[in-house]
Structure 1
Amino acid sequence: MALTPLEKNRMQPFIPFPDYSGGTPRPDVSALRAAVRAFLEDERRAGTIVPGLQSWTTFDRGFSERAARRGFLALTWPRRFGGQERTAFERYVVCEEMLAAGAPLGSHWIAERQSGPQIMRHGTEELKAALVHRIAAGQLTFGIGMSEPDSGSDLSSVRTKAEKVDGGWRMEGRKVWTTNAHHADYLIVLCRTEARSEDRYAGLSQLVVPLDDPKVTVRPLVSLNGEHELNEVIFDGNVVPDTHLLGQGGDGWKLVIEELAFERSAPDRFMSTFGLLRILTEAVGASGDDRAHAEVGRLVARLSAIRDLSLLIGERLEAGQPATGIATIAKDLGTGLEQEIPEVARRVLSMVPVRGRADAAGALSFAILNAPCFSLRGGTREILKGIVARELGLR
């Protein structure tokens, strides 16, 4: 079926700001953007991408493998691990184009964004050899094993434990809100490997846990929107080899803080409702309503500022500089924007949200139902503000 001009326009990512930060020119990425957009258009025509009804958590292993074959995964990784040794900015460009298009990134997103880099930095040689190239090829899905039933953002209180046994670690405990664990091949799990002491951050470690072990159970947690992306994961005596320990025993808290800087600064933390913003911008642009123009203009201005902040964090991480505090601020500001976009759309658009429809009403429904989780995943706002206060010396 032929697309209308408006539908064709909706397939083009809306980038209202140049590829500059702080007035400093960045590398020319026009060819890279064009290549990513051509790939995404092919995927849309094949029915893989349904704008407004998918997010970066939507699972599609085939999409991830095709993206890897086109060179859109592991851009910044060393070549010896299957990477391309390109700049962090080039990786950022690929990520934002895919997020803007609403591509199904859930199969590779966590693995490529944080699990792979953690293994390259802190994993054993055996673990690197077994997993990293397969992550770069889009063939492995990872989940994040941090939150627990009574330890949400307060990660230092986790009770999942790993007891040292001959040749490995025997695990007992539970994790919750684990995105795509029912599809994942591995989970990087924060667990207690030593008895809790006065120093609540001591005695924690990270283990790379295979999820095909019969002593690991994954149970679904169905969300408000009726979708199954979240899960509870139960460890009941599974043994993880010594080679699957990241860093040294007791390094867990340091590694988690490092990992969360990557998680909290990425563009998915402010582009989850970008598809709706694009629809909203088009609708308001044709309406001539000054009040609506002002509301949408404020959203776009905030998006531009948060993007610049996110790019700055990426530069710091690439240079090996600390970014915990600024990444926490970016996450808080970004998720606030993500949640406000559907609220503005509800006020401005004259339509009833309809779940499941592949149009503006469906996109509005999808955003409304998913928005409550944005300020929870990656750390609640209350915890984030506490981190910022400590960075500023206020606590």
Structure 2
Amino acid sequence: MTFRPIQPTDHERLLRSAVREFLRTALPPGYRPRLAFASAHDPDFTRALAARGWVGMTIPKKYGGAGAPYMDRYIVAEELLAAGAPIGAHWAADRQTASMILKYGTEDQRRTYLPKIASGEWYFSVGMSEPDSGSDLASVRTTARRDDAGGWIVNGTKVWTTHAHLNHFMLTLCRTSAHEDRHHGLSQMIVDLKAPGVTVRPIEFIDGSDDFNEVVLEDVHVADTNVLGDVGAGWQQATSELAYERSGPDRYLTVMAPLIEFVRRTVDRGGNARQAEAIGGIAAKLWGVRQLGLAVARSIDEGAMPSAEAALVKDLGTALEQEIVETLREVAGVELDPTSDDLFENLLAEAVATGPSFTIRGGTTEVMRSVAAKGLEGVRW
């Protein structure tokens, strides 16, 4: 397990500049940025990105994508997240589902789904977590049994399913056979969220938002053509999917909006030494975590599947996000008011209310450290 310092190429610098220029004109005056994990679901913005080749960037050109390296996608994602842009519509499909279909899907699945993802027309949710099965994916209870008429009948419940009320499909982990080893007998299926038997119920968060959903599957028919990969290979596939989910910049840039506003506020109003020290400390830690994330992105481009390294980035990044929120709360000297007209105070109140979830979504801290520890087995120092 080696993290190498990453230096951007000339192409990567130009790409970053192009995205920043796009955002300056695409986001309207007075745009209110969102915390990264709560990005607004805006199909028009997604299609504008897609028109520039910035959705499904790593999808090969023959399937409608740009055929770009994973690092290019990482750079675009960084800039979108830092701006708090409304990327919720395409995010899951762009971050992980497209890569999964490309790697494990049939040719027909690739030709059906990938062009629609790259054009910003079809959106996916992630169907992993369940009411009694969060980070422990091997304990999923959603079942899929063979249908005598062909295909599968799926029953179960998924939770924390972002934008399921707005998206088209859900890549669903389910149990297709019973085994003593819980890691066997799992499969992944593409479920149409508008299919008969699918019920989507909002889960209201503490701040009143309801981007998360409970998805109930009752005798939902899934065709054989919508089984992703091999039947029974769901565990291996899902864990590789999590490498894309856990190592991205959304694991350390969730609270960039309140941090940027705090820096602006400090410059405009004149900050004290304690605030300047806090900003410097946060910047140094962000630089370190970002270098780890960039190293994972580069290794994916080189053909690796760095699950353990991704778990480390997720663990360090989300813990840092919580630390940033608490630091800002301590040094800002403001009352928390989610109804405040002051942008910084409003964003900070939202971050404080939602911050405890940062180290849970995508896998708890304990699970991340277990994954990383297993990756370190046999490593010689």
Give the TM bin, normalised by the shorter chain.
Answer: over 0.9
Name the residue aligned to 1:257.
239
* Aligned residue number for residue 325 of structure 1: 308
Q: Does 1:127 align with 2:136?
A: no
* Contact 2:71–2:301 (Cα < 8 Å) also in 1: no
Per-residue deviation, 1:340 = 1.4
1:38 aligns with 2:21: yes
- Alignment check: 8 A CA contact 1:55 1:103 kept: no
2:356 corresponding residue in structure 1: 372
Q: Do the aligned partners of 1:142 and 1:184 also contact (CA within 8 Å) in 2? A: yes
How far residue 75 of structure 1 moved from its aligned partner, in angstroms, is: 1.9
Specify the alignment match of 1:335 in structure 2.
Answer: 318
Q: What amino acid maps onto 2:49 in structure 1?
A: A
Q: Measure how far apart 1:189 and its partner are.
A: 0.4
Residues 56 and 320 (structure 1 numbering): CA distance in 2 closer, same or farther, change over 3 Å? farther
**Is 2:34–2:86's contact at 8 Å kept on the other side of the alignment?**
no
- From 148, 153, 156, give the equivalent of 1:173: 156
Tell me the equivalent position of 2:12. Answer: 29
Matches within 5 A, 1:135-146: 135-146=117-128
- C-alpha distance in structure 2 between counterparts of 1:32 and 1:316, whole Å: 20
- Paired residues, number: 372
Aligned equivalents of 2:342 and 2:88: distance in 1?
20
1:1-395 mapped onto 2 (5 Å cutoff): 22=5, 24=7, 26-45=9-28, 49-52=31-34, 55=37, 57-165=39-147, 166-195=149-178, 197-285=179-267, 287-356=270-339, 357=341, 359-393=343-377
> Which stretch of the first structure deviates more once superposed, 67-76 or 261-270?
67-76
**Structure 1 residue 342 displacement after superposition:** 1.6
Q: Deviation per CA, 1:195-237: give whole Å up to 9, x if none.
A: 1x22110000000100111211111110111100111111110
Aligned residues: CA RMSD: 1.8
For residues 243-297 of structure 1, give each alpha carbon's deviation from its aligned partner in whole angstroms, at most 9, with x where no partner exists.
1111110110000011000000000010000111112223345635222222221
**Cα separation, 1, equivalents of 2:74 and 2:311:** 18
TM normalised by structure 2 equals 0.93
8 Å CA contact 1:52–1:366 kept in 2: the answer is no
Rounded to whole Å, the distance in 2 between the matches of 1:358 and 1:160 is 45
| Cα pair distance change 1:56/1:77, threshold 3 Å | farther
* 1:3 aligned residue: none
Q: Identity rate of aligned residues, in percent?
A: 40
The TM-score, its normalising length taken from structure 1, stands at 0.90
Structure 1: gaps (5+ residues): 1-20
Partner deviation per Cα, 1:363-392 (whole Å, 9 max, x = no partner): 111211221111110001111122222223
Which amino acid counterpart does residue 43 of structure 1 have in structure 2?
A
8 A contact 1:52–1:359 mirrored in 2: no
